[in-house]
């Protein structure tokens, strides 16, 4: 992706990005490295806010498949994202980065509630805001929360950190002939049902002109490289 004039970025970190090589939960070393990436990007002059997922701890849909009530399971999933948000906050603060966690489900003793204007103010003061508890509503995902917060915070782009370096014609882990797209349109992603983010998230980005950049967060230094227009990624716009 060539360098763009992105200044304010929403970084979506899936729960998996915090899991390292483990099968479950939070890997401290991985969280520290991800926090380093965020710190480097901020030092390079970018304004960042984060949405963290919870799939490394609990997924509502998977639990519902096993008989849980879907809405209750989704609330549990949202609580899982709060745990991840606190882990990322802790890692960032250990590296001297000022952060605030804001939860879409108010949890006064743990973190701030989500208040848009307050989040804006934190960003103006160069704090990194970590948005937790997704949208606060069951039947949604943190991808949609990321798109929503990116629009609310007037971000120039949504960066989705995953374990692959972009969007492929097929799953590159299964199909060796799969090719990576450099760029794609929102409509193509939706019509071909490409697995970038869920459809509601893609639609929110499309309707608000927020490009989605898919890149590999597992490679050290990659966030800074992609932001500088040097790394490998796919841009959806
Ligand atoms: N979730 C929800 N509403 C939201 C965001 C998340 O109900 O707005 C729940 C849902 O159960 C989901 C879980 O939280 O499975 C964890 O989020 P997600 O699966 O998006 O995390 P990721 O895949 O990014 O790790």
Question: Which one-letter DSSP state was computed for residue 129?
Answer: E
Separation between Cα atoms, residue 41 and residue 114, nearest integer Å? 24
Nearest atom, ligand 1, residue 135 CA:
8
What is the interface pTM, i.e. ipTM, of the complex? 0.99
Q: Is the CB of 50 under 6 A from ligand 1?
A: no
CB 163 within 8 A of CB 216: yes
Closest by CA to 51, choosing from 136, 118, 143, is 143
CB 217 within 8 A of CB 162: yes
Q: Is the CB of 36 under 6 A from ligand 1?
A: no
Pairing of strands 128-132, 47-52: parallel
pLDDT at 172: 85
- DSSP helix/strand/coil, 118: helix
**55 labelled ligand-binding:** yes
pLDDT in tens, the chain (237 residues): 667 889 999 999 999 999 999 999 999 999 999 999 999 999 999 999 999 999 999 999 999 999 999 999 999 999 999 999 999 999 999 999 999 999 999 999 999 999 999 999 999 999 999 999 999 999 999 999 999 999 999 999 999 999 899 999 988 888 999 999 999 999 999 999 998 999 999 999 999 999 999 999 988 889 999 999 998 999 999
Q: What is the value of pTM for the model shown? A: 0.97
pLDDT at 1: 66
Pairing of strands 47-52, 183-184: unpaired
Q: Is the CB of 137 under 6 A from ligand 1?
A: yes
Q: Is the CB of 166 under 6 A from ligand 1?
A: no
**207 labelled ligand-binding:** no
CB 67 within 8 A of CB 27: no
User: What are the distances in angstroms from CA 44 to CA 40, 153, 168, 199?
Assistant: 6, 20, 29, 32
Q: What is the CATH number of domain 8-236?
A: 3.40.1160.10
């Amino acid at each position: 992706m060539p360098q763009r004039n992105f200044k304010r970025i929403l970084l979506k970190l899936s729960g998996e990005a915090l899991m390292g090589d483990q099968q479950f939960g939070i890997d401290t070393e991985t969280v520290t490295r991800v926090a380093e990436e965020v710190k480097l990007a901020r030092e390079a002059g970018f304004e960042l806010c984060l949405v963290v997922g919870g799939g490394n701890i609990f997924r509502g849909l998977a639990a519902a498949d096993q008989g849980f009530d879907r809405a209750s399971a989704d609330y549990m999933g949202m609580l899982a994202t709060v745990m991840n948000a606190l882990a990322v906050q802790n890692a960032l603060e250990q590296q001297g980065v000022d952060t605030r966690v804001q939860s879409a489900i108010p949890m006064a003793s743990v973190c701030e509630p989500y208040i848009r204007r307050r989040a804006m103010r934190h960003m103006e003061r160069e704090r990194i805001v970590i948005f937790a508890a997704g949208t606060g509503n069951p039947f949604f995902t943190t991808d949609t929360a990321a798109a929503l917060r990116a629009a609310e915070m007037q971000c120039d782009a949504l960066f989705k950190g995953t374990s692959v370096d972009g969007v492929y014609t097929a799953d590159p882990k299964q199909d060796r002939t799969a090719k990576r797209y450099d760029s794609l349109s929102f409509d193509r992603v939706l019509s071909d049902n490409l697995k970038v983010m869920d459809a509601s998230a893609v639609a929110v980005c499309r309707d608000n002109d927020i490009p989605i950049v898919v890149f590999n967060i597992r490679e050290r230094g990659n966030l800074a490289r992609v932001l500088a227009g040097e790394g490998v990624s796919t841009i959806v716009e």
